[in-house]
Amino acid sequence: MKTSRGFTLLEVLLATALVGLLLAGLNIFIFSMGELWGKNSDRRLFDQHVNAVTRYLQRELRAAGLPPAGKKGEYAITPQEIRPGGGLAETLLTFDLPGGSRLFEWPAQPLPEVVCSLQVRERQGLFLLWHSRLETRFYDDPPREVLVTPWATELSYEYYDSDTKRWSIERALKRESSSSRAYLVPQRIRLKFAYRGLQRETVLLVPTVTEGLPNY
């Protein structure tokens, strides 16, 4: 008659050690997969955000129209001196939105005849500065501000030289000449985004509307 033999202490310790190693490996695998999924999720969400911001801004630029007193030959998007609330005057790329924008909060329906400017602030993001020509203190009060994205880190302007057939990138709007006070309208706007080590750049085309009056 056979008698059953129990596990020795050494066998129990070896089995426990093997189970521990298997569990540790499984935990490492699960945590590494979770970390990888989290990183991929951040990338997807970041890309979606950047794409949405780019589409929104491009749509608003295409909707820009000449101001009410605009004349044939003028641009709908022009550099203008803007003084934000509590800040110094700065020359920013500015445009009129005849129909306003849903992004601009107002008690009733969106205000028409809105003047907008793009500004990137360090460690704050990309802002749209706006106010309506219908406001009684349009020329006195600073424009309102709406944060478009906190992850825009830089806004630059791209100019095409038809003589050299080359593009140049400027951090500030370019003057017509060294002795001129007038500024040139860029052909493109370049935006840089950053979030937790992720970085992207996108380019906006600057439409040129030079004929007719806006559609009010």
Say if 41 falls within a structural domain: no
Judge contact between 105 and 114, C-beta under 8 A.
no
Is the pLDDT higher at 76 or at 36? 76
As a whole number, the mean pLDDT across the chain is: 78
Length in residues, the chain: 216
Residue 211 lies in a domain: no
Residue scoring higher pLDDT (187 or 131): 187
CA distance 40 to 51: 16
Residues 112, 132: contact at Cβ < 8 Å? Answer: yes
Identify whether 34 is part of a domain. Answer: no
**Is 84 part of a structural domain of the chain?**
yes
Residue 26 has pLDDT above 80, yes or no: no
For residue 191, being part of any structural domain is answered with: yes
The rounded percent of the chain whose pLDDT value lies above 90 is: 36
The C-alpha atoms of residue 42 and residue 45 are separated, in whole angstroms, by: 5
Top-confidence residue, 103 or 55: 55
Quick check: is 139 in a domain?
yes
Tokens (6 digits) for 216 = 């009010």
Report if residue 197 sits inside a domain.
yes
Query: Per-residue confidence at 102, pLDDT binned at 50, 70, 90?
Result: confident
101 within some domain: yes
As a whole number, mean pLDDT of residues 34-39 equals 50
Average pLDDT of span 166-180: 88
* The pLDDT value given to residue 19: 54
pLDDT band at 56 (very low <50, low <70, confident <90, very high): very high
Question: Do residues 65 and 76 make contact, with C-beta atoms less than 8 angstroms apart?
Answer: yes
Structural domain including 198 reads 57-205
Q: Is the pLDDT of residue 137 over 60?
A: yes
How many independent structural domains does the chain possess?
1
What number is the average pLDDT over the span 171-191?
Answer: 89
Please, what's the largest Cα pairwise distance for the chain?
A: 112
Q: Looking at residue 213, what is its pLDDT?
A: 41
